[in-house]
Amino acid sequence: MRIIKNNQVQDDEWSLIVTVDSGDTIPDGDIIIPFKYWKENQTTLDNRVGKTAICINGEDRIEDIVSFITQFDLIALEFPAFKDGRCYSHARLLRDRYKFEGDLRAVGDVLRDQVFYLNRCGISSFYIRDDKDIEDALNALKDFTVTYQTAADGALPVYKLR
């Protein structure tokens, strides 16, 4: 699967498992799995070959996952609809407050015109929706060269530069 990361489009090895039930067989390899499933099936998942990452959405509370985050190289934030802005706050909390240093990935209804803001909130990689041109979405990272306020990107408020 191709993603945007480090200002470029690149191939990626993680497999995103969007829905999973308790009886399902989990494949080997690097997978991203819903947080709730991970929490209930940690031992099984640990016995697999491959890395495990979690996916959270706006319904999850960051406080509930904080104690686990050092275990993960990647946390995915799911946007069921691009207008659901809760994960923008989740991303900032994970980066600014809880100092998560791994990859924060936007998944779901992720479109070009939200990429700039998502990136500023600390999201570091993007699965762009299948039917969209991922190369075009890359351009969004350059939409603005100046920003007024601080965010997870550590930008100083512009007034401090004046």
Partner 1 sequence: MYKYDNYDKTIVNERVAQFRDQTMRFLAGSISEEEYRPLRLMNGLYLQRYAPMLRVAIPYGLLSSTQMRMLAHIARTYDKNYGHFSTRQNIQYNWPRLETVPDILAELATVEMHAIQTSGNCIRNVTSDHFAGIAVDEIEDPRPYCEIIRQWSTFHPEFSYLPRKFKIAVSGAGHDRAAVHVHDIGIFLSKNAEGETGFKILVGGGLGRLPHIGVVIRDFIEKKYLLSYLEAILRIYNLFGRRDNMHKARIKILVKAIGAEKFAEMVEKEWEQIKESVLLLDDKEIDRVKSYFISPGYQIDAENDTSFDKNMASNKSFANWVKRNVTDHKAAGYRAVYISLKAPGTPPGDATGEQMDFMADMADQYSASEIRVTHDQNLVLGHVKQGDLFSLWTELNIQHLATPNIGLLTDMICCPGLDFCSLANAGSIPIAAQINKKFDDMDYLHDIGDLQIKMSGCMNACGHHHVGHIGILGVDKKGKEFYQLTVGGSAAMDASLGDRLGPAIAKADVADSIGKILDAYVEIRQEGERFLDTYRRVGITPFKDSVYAE
Q: Which is nearer to partner 1, 26 or 155 (CB)?
A: 155
Q: Which is nearer to partner 1, 45 or 106 (CB)?
A: 106
DSSP string covering 63-84: HHHGGGGGG-SEEEEEESSTT-
| Minimum distance of partner 1 from residue 65's CB (angstroms) | 14
| Minimum distance of partner 1 from residue 102's CB (angstroms) | 20
**3, 125 in Cβ contact below 8 A?**
yes
- C-alpha torsion 82→83→85→87, nearest 10: -20
- What is residue 116's DSSP assignment? H
| Minimum distance of partner 1 from residue 61's CB (angstroms) | 9
| Minimum distance of partner 1 from residue 49's CB (angstroms) | 37
Q: Which is nearer to partner 1, 23 or 162 (CB)?
A: 162
Q: Which is nearer to partner 1, 23 or 160 (CB)?
A: 160
3-state secondary structure of 16: strand
For binding to partner 1 (CB under 8 A), which residues are involved? 58, 82-86, 88-89, 92, 97, 111, 113-114, 116-118, 120-121, 133, 136, 143-151, 156-162
Q: Which is nearer to partner 1, 29 or 157 (CB)?
A: 157
CA atoms of 123 and 77, how far apart (whole Å) = 9
Residue 109 φ/ψ, nearest 5 degrees: -85, 70
| Minimum distance of partner 1 from residue 52's CB (angstroms) | 26
Residue 23 φ/ψ, nearest 5 degrees: -85, -10
